[in-house]
Amino acid sequence: QEGFCMMCIMEAHVNQVLYSSGSTIRPTAVSSVLTVRIEQHFRPDRQEDAHEFLHCTVDAMQTACLSRSSNLDISSQETTIIHQIFEGFLRSRVTCLSCRAVSNSYEALLNVPLDIKAASSVTTALEDSVKPEQLSGENAYKCGKCDKMVAAFKRFTVHRSPRVLTACLKRFEGFTGRKISTVVECPEYLDLQPYVSQTAGEPLLYTLYAVLLHSGVSSRAGHYFCYTKYPYLSMQASNGLWYKMNDESVDACGFNTVLGQQAYLLFYVR
């Protein structure tokens, strides 16, 4: 592909990583296009958000996949390799409490935001996210069958699960940027089956292979580093080693060390 191609840049970066065992590399191919091609609002030497960077990078890779195509409908755009890996679908179901009529709507799911203010674990946060919400009073639902505003229940579920599940723990408060420092338990193996639209079926198992963390007290200052598992496809903890990746420093560690951290982004593979 001629011109800028985020997929090509990421391919070159991954190849450089795989063939640079035992040495430190600088991802200059990515950082050099950060403010021009990935996100114009990013600024060098200023604290930026890792979740926003991930979102912008995935968008840029999606754009690269579509560069030779024009006038594609939304369904066709969602068949790229990026969507095949990262995309799932979320179902919103509203049930009228008067006539019991059901209305479903669907939206693409590229990452799962989890509220952690009242959650001690990822599974608790997932359970809270799929609990039915009552719509009444000022938030009443306009039922097409009843043709009036009525009380209803609304519930979100995962309708189609992605191959790679990215979860973002909502650590930063909107206006102040203050960080929620709660330690949230992150299971190494996650069964997504209880949170999908069709709960009957075989377990939908994911294994955790990377955790990104933020050190600091707010979204405006601090430092990002991560823990990664290698080999990440191993389903047996004894066959996979965890490493703390902190700039030029790489240190082996046990999963118990990962458990005690203030996780921000979680990466699971099915």
Domain residue limits, the chain: 1-86
Global confidence as pTM = 0.87
Helix (H, G, I), strand (E, B) or coil at 229: strand
pLDDT 10s digit of each residue in the chain, 270 long? 567 888 989 998 888 888 887 778 888 888 888 877 777 788 777 788 888 889 888 988 888 888 777 677 777 777 889 888 998 888 999 999 999 999 999 888 888 888 888 788 888 888 888 898 999 888 899 988 998 899 999 999 888 889 999 999 888 887 777 888 888 888 889 999 988 888 777 888 999 999 999 888 777 788 899 999 876 554 444 457 889 999 888 889 888 888 878 899 999 999
Per DSSP, the residues of 97-138 read: TTT--EEEEEEEESSEEE--TT-SBHHHHHHHHTS-EEE-GG
Distance of CA 118 to the CA centre of its chain: 20
Token code pair at residue 96: 């009228």
Exposure string for 77-110, b = 16+ CB within 10 A, e = fewer: eeebebbeebbbbbbebbbbbeeeeeeeeeeebb
Q: Tell me the chain's radius of gyration from C-alpha atoms.
A: 21
